[in-house]
Amino acid sequence: MYENKISVIGTGYVGLVSGVCLADFGNTVINVDIDEEKINKLNNGEVPIYEPGLSEYLQRNFESGRISFTTDVKEAIENSGVVFIAVGTPPKDDGSADLQYVLSVARDIGKYMNGYKVIVDKSTVPIGTGRKVAAVIQEELDKRGVDYKFDVVSNPEFLREGKAVYDFTHPDRVVIGTESEKARDILKEVYRALYLNDTPFVFTNLETAEMIKYASNAFLATKISFINEISVLCEKVNADVQVVAKAMGMDGRIGDKFLHAGPGYGGSCFPKDTRAIVRIAAENGVDLKVIKAGIEANENQKLYMVEKIVNKLGDLKGKTLGILGLSFKPETDDMREAPALTIIPELIKRGARIRAFDPEGIKEATWRLKDYEKDIIYCDNEYEVMKGSNALVLLTEWNQFRRLDLKRVKELLADPVFFDLRNVYEVEEVEKVGLEYIGVGTAQ
């Protein structure tokens, strides 16, 4: 029934992972981007982002001819029965999502359409965008005076960075939003590998699918802010947030995921999507108080980490802090909205100098923290960071930071204080070697 190729427009995080994994499901995929340099790299088998497993997936699907990369959007659209839109929706100054890239792809689709096609919105887009995409395509068809049929589907993506390939190929659910029976059947074919494999599919209308994505991200972000606020209270009342979260999570209604207290959430999704849903709600006369509070709590949490450090070390003038981890989470080089981007400048403003290491994030950190470059030294490894530092701050829980030689840490630090802002270590094991331990949400 569905024999055509699939185009995936956009080779960013979502577009590239979707393209490669859809190819791995047995589809023939054309991945398109306007960035020639990126396409050249991909055609040479080079993955432009750091994402575990992606390179192997790319290699085997490229070699088998199931995926190809091009800048020729016209040819890709003309040769595809299904077109995924997976371009960026960056936040505008007012918090709303910038739809110019999505709508420009929609215009291209209208321009080059040559028969029935299913257009699939993979990008996270404000509720109502699917209808806008359809209107723009129709406008272009009208201009051309042609009458091709098409359906627009919302198929939000729930993958996490660092686990993108696994998440795409093992989703908790696949959401398909369209009123068209024909488009649904085609999407079932596209996802046949999952559909036959007992993955739950949620079929619904366009707007509901778009809302599911925002509501899911906003809920997860709020869950993190919730436990972060509880962690602050735990510190004051001699409670241990780790145990609190564990026991809360044993209640099936709460669940144990995303209850890990830390320096605040970051990344390209939670901060952007929480702000966007608040904005969409305001435009519709709805005040999303809970989500707004979660956003505020997240900002506070990052600053509270700075306060913890100052409370312990006193005046930071003339002190050097060793920072382990810069990316917003492990297994990614992505620094977007990383807590480090708030915490490091705040420490520097208070007079501290920084020595920092991250396995993948240094390149991006260097330009994102350019204004502070004279106070930051980027090191080659975790122990270099400690040399000449007063205290150590673990900011991102990369696996290689989970098994530090604590005796060596103690020897290298001038003031033996270890701020474990991801609660990776047990207080006893750290204090045993004579290091003072400061975690998040445990009595200080």
Catalytic residues: 269
Gap between the Cα atoms of 278 and 135, Å rounded: 25
- For 177, the 3-state DSSP assignment is strand
Among 101, 191, 328, 398, binds ligand UGA (CB under 6 A): 328
Beta-bridged to residue 82, according to DSSP, are 6, 118
Amino acid, single-letter form, for residue 156: P
- In the complex with ligand UGA, the residue whose CB is nearer, 92 or 350, is 92
Residues of this chain, 102-131, that bind ligand UGA according to CB under 6 A? 124
Q: What distance lies between CA 77 and its chain's CA centroid?
A: 28
Alpha-carbon distances, residue 160 vs 14, 182, 373 (angstroms): 10, 30, 30
Residues of this chain, 159-218, that bind ligand UGA according to CB under 6 A? 159-161, 217
Gap between the Cα atoms of 409 and 414, Å rounded: 10
- In the complex with ligand UGA, the residue whose CB is nearer, 112 or 304, is 304
Number of shown-chain residues binding ligand UGA (CB under 6 A) = 20
Q: What distance lies between CA 426 and its chain's CA centroid?
A: 28
Q: Cβ 51 to ligand UGA, closest distance in Å?
A: 10
CB 99 within 8 A of CB 129: yes
Q: Cβ 244 to ligand UGA, closest distance in Å?
A: 13
Q: Cβ 268 to ligand UGA, closest distance in Å?
A: 6
257, with CB counted inside 10 A (0-12, 13-18, 19+), is exposed
Torsion of CA 357, 360, 363, 364, to 10 degrees: -100
Residues of this chain, 212-231, that bind ligand UGA according to CB under 6 A? 217, 220, 224
Residues of this chain, 262-281, that bind ligand UGA according to CB under 6 A? 262, 265-267, 269-270
Q: What is the per-residue binding string for ligand UGA in 385-424, x denoting contact by CB under 6 A? A: ----------------------------------------
Q: Cβ 213 to ligand UGA, closest distance in Å?
A: 7
Q: Of 342, 353, 340, which is closest to residue 391 (Cα–Cα)?
A: 353
What one-character DSSP code corresponds to residue 330?
T
Q: What is the per-residue binding string for ligand UGA in 233-262, x denoting contact by CB under 6 A? A: -------------------------xxx-x
Give the binding range for ligand UGA (CB under 6 A) out of 55-63, 151-159, 186-194, 200-208: 151-159
For residue 95, the number of C-alpha atoms closer than 13 Å in the C-beta half-sphere is: 15
Alpha-carbon distances, residue 370 vs 263, 362, 366 (angstroms): 22, 12, 6
Annotated binding residues for NAD(+): 33, 38, 89, 124, 161, 272, 336
- Residues near ligand UGA (CB under 6 A): 124, 157-161, 217, 220, 224, 258-260, 262, 265-267, 269-270, 328-329
Annotated binding residues for substrate: 158-161, 213, 258-262, 266, 329
